[in-house]
Each structure stands twice: as C-alpha cells, then as structure tokens.
C-alpha cells in the first residue's frame, strides 16, 4: 500500500462538477492498494499518516502532526500509484489491486483514520473520474510504502 501525503492549505475533489470533499489545512492523501495488502498495512500506514510531523512549529521547524494543528484529511484512491513503467511508454497497472480487494481496504483506511483522529475525513469516490485541486504548502510531499517498513 502506497500513500502520497501532501501538506496542504486547502484541497478539494470534484466529481461530475460537484465538490465531493473539501478541506482546509491538513493532508491530501493519495492511496494506492496492491495485491497482498491487508488490514495490517492499513493500520501501519494509517498510524504513519496521522503521526507525520510535517507542520511547522513556532520556530519554523517541521515538528507538528495533524492533531497538533487540528488538521483535516482528504483521502483519494489512486490505483496509478502502482504503475509499472519498466517496459515501453504505456504504464502497466497489473500491480494495482482489483476493486474487490482495494475497495474494502480503502474503506477500512477511511474508518481507521476517522477513529484515530476522532473526526470525519473527506474522501473521493473509488473508481470515479475525479478532479483534485490543492495548494501544496512548502511544497511538502511524502511517499510512504507499507512494504518498505525498514
């Protein structure tokens, strides 16, 4: 499971010309699910997302997490994070989990983040054609792969 975390001052997702989710300060998280991902990957990655200390403290150092700034999360499913570009110029997505695997894990991540943060998060819609807008602060973008824990 891969997460791309972007520190944002605002972000939104629009589906069929309707804003489906919108946040102010917090994280835009793009989530890619692959074969073999489990509940343990969700929990490990969810804890890493929540614990990321990438907001500036009073001294300007990246030292604060979401809770410290009362930040929000916009979670977007993105199978293209598992694209393979080794052969040719057309990406292969065979490493992306099929919807019957990916949807329950995506929904589990939503539930996990909401429980751990103690509030609702905003989401895209799995499989939809989404338009994502953001203002990336910094810019700060972090990539975390649950298969590379060490």
What pLDDT digit, counting tens, does each position of 24-64 carry? 999 999 999 999 999 999 999 999 999 999 999 999 999 99
Phi-psi region of 138 (alpha: psi -120 to 50; beta: other; left: phi over 0): left
Catalytic residue among 38, 80, 111, 141: 80
Supply the pLDDT for residue 88: 87
130/127 Cα distance (integer angstroms) = 9
Q: Please write the tens of the pLDDT for every residue from 73-121.
A: 999 999 989 888 888 899 989 899 999 999 999 999 999 999 999 999 9
List, in order, residues 6 or more apart from 28 with CB less than 8 Å away.
5, 6, 8, 11, 74, 76, 132, 134, 136
User: Does any domain span residue 53?
Assistant: yes
58/8 Cα distance (integer angstroms) = 18
**H runs (alpha helix) in the chain:** 39-51, 66-69, 99-117
Q: Tell me the β-bridge partners of 7.
A: 27
Q: How many domains does the chain contain in total?
A: 1
Note if 80 is an active site residue.
yes
Question: Tell me, what CATH number does 63's domain have?
Answer: 3.50.80.10
Predicted model pTM: 0.94
Q: Domain containing 102: what range?
A: 2-145
- Checking if the pLDDT of 128 tops 90, the result is yes
Supply the pLDDT for residue 83: 87
User: Does any domain span residue 51?
Assistant: yes
User: Does any domain span residue 68?
Assistant: yes
């Amino acid at each position: 499971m891969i997460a791309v975390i972007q520190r944002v001052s605002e972000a939104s997702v629009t589906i069929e010309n309707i804003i489906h989710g919108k946040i102010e300060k917090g994280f835009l998280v793009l989530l890619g699910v692959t074969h073999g991902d489990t509940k343990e990957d969700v929990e490990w990655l969810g804890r890493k997302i929540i614990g990321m200390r990438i907001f500036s403290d009073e001294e300007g150092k990246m030292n604060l997490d979401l809770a410290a700034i009362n930040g929000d999360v916009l979670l977007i499913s993105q199978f293209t994070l598992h694209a393979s570009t080794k052969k040719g110029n057309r990406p292969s997505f065979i490493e992306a989990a099929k919807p019957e695997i990916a949807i329950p894990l995506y929904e589990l991540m939503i539930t996990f983040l909401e429980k751990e943060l103690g509030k609702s998060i905003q989401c895209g819609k799995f499989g939809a054609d989404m338009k994502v807008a953001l203002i990336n602060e910094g810019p700060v973008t972090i990539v975390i792969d649950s298969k590379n824990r060490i």
